[in-house]
Structure 1
Amino acid sequence: MFYILISFVSFVMILSKSFINKPLSSNVKKLVSNGFCGKLLSFLASRLKTRTIFLPFSFFHFSLGMQLQNKSCLVSKVEYREEEEEKASLLDLHDLPLDCILEKLSPSELCNVAQVCKSLREKCRSDYLWEKHMKMKWGKILGDSAYRQWKCYVASKSIEKNSNQHKNQKTVLAFLHAFLPFFWIKSKSEKYIKSRPDDSIAALYLSLENGKFWFPAQVYNRENGHAGFLLSCYDAELCYDSRTDTFQARYSPHGRWTTEENIKWERLRVPPIDSSSHVLHISDCLDDLKPGDHVEIQWRRNNEFPYGWWYSVIGHLETCQGDGNHCQCHDKDTVILEFTQYTAGSRWRQTMINRKNHREQGNEIEGFYGGIRKLHSKEEITKWKKLWPTKNVE
């Protein structure tokens, strides 16, 4: 063993002379600088330059230094691991305190935390956490019809995704189908194809926020408060613009779309009747109507147009003096609807309906009046009054 060591050292001494006399090439530098051998060569070369090397002792000195260095690195790694273990992690918390923390986060903060790891991503996308945010921001304008349309939207995206994946993978799968070793590729691909998009509340919230999902709602005073639509509310398809915090609307009067932009939140509401805007609402309040009641009545220009809801107040009959103590209008079959946003004498100012057999009534000149719903909520009545025009319309 001693002779082998002497031979090896002799070889190193010969190499060291070339190190002293010639500059190292880039490849040799890499070899020398890496690993135990490189460190040994560097150590011996430095000793040979000074001519103070004593082979057995020097080699022992070098080996001892390497062992001490390795032990030092090992101790530092252990200390580092112990320090890391002492640090508290969010995932070390139990479910209850962790949920309490996540409940305090905003939607954007939940999205940021969800990017940390898979476990937190599943936590942060829980419907329980997002229901509060949905109700707070979107609850007043999202109704049952919007949620149904969301389900259809997710289903259509699933079909589109599966179709595209099937086209892209059909050729490859057909080629691999004949090879037994690749059967697992086929099974995984088919499983991926059948996976459906996320239909969680978090996905709905984010789709609304980024404007990808158009949802049904109703817009007050459509088309920027056009005179022909004052104190009315019409169905529309809406899309949110987070940059301006406003909405874009699409109205479908009779086969063509009319658009409007920069619609503010206060001009939107959930449809009060969960039915198509082309369907006549069956009134259930006609027997209870009396002067002073606030109502909404369906109206449309012709049979091709959808209904809109128009604000009105029940008035007194001409034969009534308007005295509350002696008024008997509520006992009569005829009911007067007044649209006081129009000037006196306007053909749109007033209309009459029969409370006993009221259905759709009207003509192509004055339009068609449909179902009536009585307003019981002060919030609804106040909403209409806030939209009142600055001057009456003729």
Structure 2
Amino acid sequence: MLLYFLITCFSFIFLRSLPLKTLPSWASEVRLLSLWFWKELFLFPYFESLRNTLFRASYLTTIHSKISMKKMNLTSNGKLENPVDDTGGMSILDLPELALDCILERLTTAGLCTMACVCTSLRERCISDHLWERRIKQKWGRIIGRAAYREWQFQIASSKDFGSCEQGKQKGLMKLLSTVWPISLMKSKDDNNNNNNNNFKHSNSSRVNSILSWYLAVETGRFWFPAQVYNRENGHVGFMLSCYDAELSYDPQTDTFRARYPPHGRRAVAIETGVQWERLRAPPVDTSPHDLHISDCLNDLRPGDHIEIQWRRNKEFPYGWWYGVVGHLESCDGNENYCRCHNSNAVVLEFHQYTRGSRWRCTMINRKDHREEGNEADGFYGGIRKLNSKEEISRWKQLWPTEVLE
């Protein structure tokens, strides 16, 4: 606007400074055309942007006058009261319960945290378990299972200093929300918490076990939770097409995980960093890696079925899950019309990632009384899972080694 004013004044002064002589009839038209040309050339983009900005500002002002979420009263204690609408218009809290819940469910995590600082009523809604349980399932559901939730409950129950635990979770909450909350609100809340520490403990003691606190513990990497890792230790050749239990911690800076594997025999704890999401899963069965899984699919196994089987190097090692397929007996030619392998008590398990002739290529189990089978030389085979999910089978095939193993 200032630039337009200067150009207009300059043009006017320049034209007034010319000798006062009679000009041709076309001169005034050229003068006006010149002025319009320079305005269009230099100022059109500016005015277009200004017009759009003013339109948006006018639109937002109209909306905010109807739903007054910005007008809030601060009490002497620094707490935010419910928004006050001086115009008598509609507030977001006047929406039906279902409509308000639908709005909050569709907000991003940052948006939900921002909405939580509007007023007391919205804060209570925005930290409710059902909203954060949905977010846990969406982001972490594929790798966090019941074992992880039990571990979280155990850590909460075994906390010796409840007050310090609560303060730690509040710090984690503030760390996450500091990216979206206004600094002034953060400071007022921090000051209020410092002045009223006892009130803080009392008001938040019921939330130490909330889904929000669990989400924050996972999101910030403070919580190590049990899960399983495919091809552990950066795809070490000795673990190709296997899946082992580990403790995981999320790294929000790289969007990867740290994996902490339990010691194997005399080996120390192994730690792997930079583990990608696609190499992780929640434990498919509720069985400890040191316990034998009780198989419930032995009578259903037929040639061509995809399976996972427990295997460990010796009795001191935990089990890992190894991918394989059910094969045909030596007496069977593989013809589906005449195959009777499923009627035999002997079941052949093949591991095609190993070359033919390798001692790891296949093994045989008894369908009726299978428990743990094996020896110190070839390791011990444990329980079996039949894979019925195409997604599980596809994930194993995506991890197939580039070369056949010996």
Same fold (TM over 0.5): yes
Amino acid at match of 2:354: Y
Cα separation, partners in 2 of 1:367 and 1:254, compared to 1, 3 Å: same
Q: Does residue 360 in structure 1 map to residue 362 in structure 2? A: no
CA distance in 2, matches of 1:142, 1:375: 20
Pick one of 322, 341, 344 that aligns with 2:353: 341
| Cα distance change, pair 189–207 in 1 and its aligned pair in 2 (3 A) | closer
Change (3 A) 1:89 1:196: closer
1:375-390 correspondence to structure 2 within 5 Å = 375-390=387-402
Shift of 1:381: 0.9
Counterpart residue number, 1:246: 256
Corresponding residue pairs, total: 290
Residue 105, structure 1, aligned to residue 70, structure 2: no
Q: Where does 1:288-367 land on structure 2 (aligned, <5 Å)?
A: 288-367=300-379
Q: Residues 1-394 of structure 1: matches in 2 within 5 Å?
A: 84-86=86-88, 88-157=90-159, 159-162=160-163, 192=202, 195=205, 198-254=208-264, 256-394=268-406
Partners of 1:367 and 1:243 in 2: how far apart?
Answer: 40
Q: Is the 8 A contact 1:333 1:355 kept in 2?
A: yes
Cα distance in 1, alignment partners of residues 205 and 144 from structure 2? 27
Shift in Å at residue 118 of structure 1? Answer: 2.3
CA change 1:83–1:318 in 2 (3 A) is: closer
Separation in structure 2 between the aligned mates of residue 359 and residue 197 of structure 1, nearest angstrom: 45
CA contact (8 A) 2:148 2:226 kept: yes
Within 2, Cα distance between the matches of 1:95 and 1:371?
A: 49
1:158-186 deviation per Cα after TM superposition (whole angstroms, max 9, x unaligned): x3234899xxxxxxxxxxxxxxxxxxxxx
> Residues 207 and 213 of structure 2 are in contact (CA less than 8 Å); yes or no, is this contact kept in structure 1?
no
RMSD, aligned α-carbons: 2.4
Structure with max Cα Rg: 1
Tell me, in whole angstroms, the C-alpha distance in 2 between the residues paired with 1:372 and 1:379.
Answer: 18
* Secondary structure of the corresponding residue to residue 288 of structure 2: coil
For residues 188-216 of structure 1, give each alpha carbon's deviation from its aligned partner in whole angstroms, at most 9, with x where no partner exists: 68984993652211221121111111111
Offset, 1:349: 0.7
2:61 aligned residue? none
Change over 3 Å in CA distance of 1:100–1:229 after alignment to 2: same
- The 10-residue stretch of structure 1 (316-325 or 82-91) with the greater mean CA deviation from structure 2: 82-91
Alpha-carbon distance in 1 for matches of 2:329, 2:117: 67
User: Unpaired segments of 5 or more residues in structure 1?
Assistant: 1-81, 166-187
Q: Distance in 1 between matches of 2:303 and 2:254?
A: 42
C-alpha distance in 1, partners of 2:207/2:104? 24
C-alpha displacement of 1:286: 1.4
Q: Which runs of 5+ in 2 are unaligned?
A: 1-83, 167-197
Counterpart Cα distance in 2 of 1:200 and 1:148: 14
| 1:69 corresponding residue in structure 2 | none
> Following the alignment from structure 1 to structure 2, what is the Cα–Cα distance between the partners of residues 292 and 275?
26
Q: Relative to structure 1, is the Cα distance of residues 191 and 322 closer, same or farther in structure 2, using a 3 angstrom cutoff?
A: closer
Matched residues in 2 for 1:194 and 1:230: separation? 47
Contact 1:291 1:315 in 2 (8 A): yes
Distance 1:116 1:339 in 2: 58
CA–CA separation in structure 2 for the residues paired with 1:215 and 1:151: 11
Return the offset for 1:254. 3.3
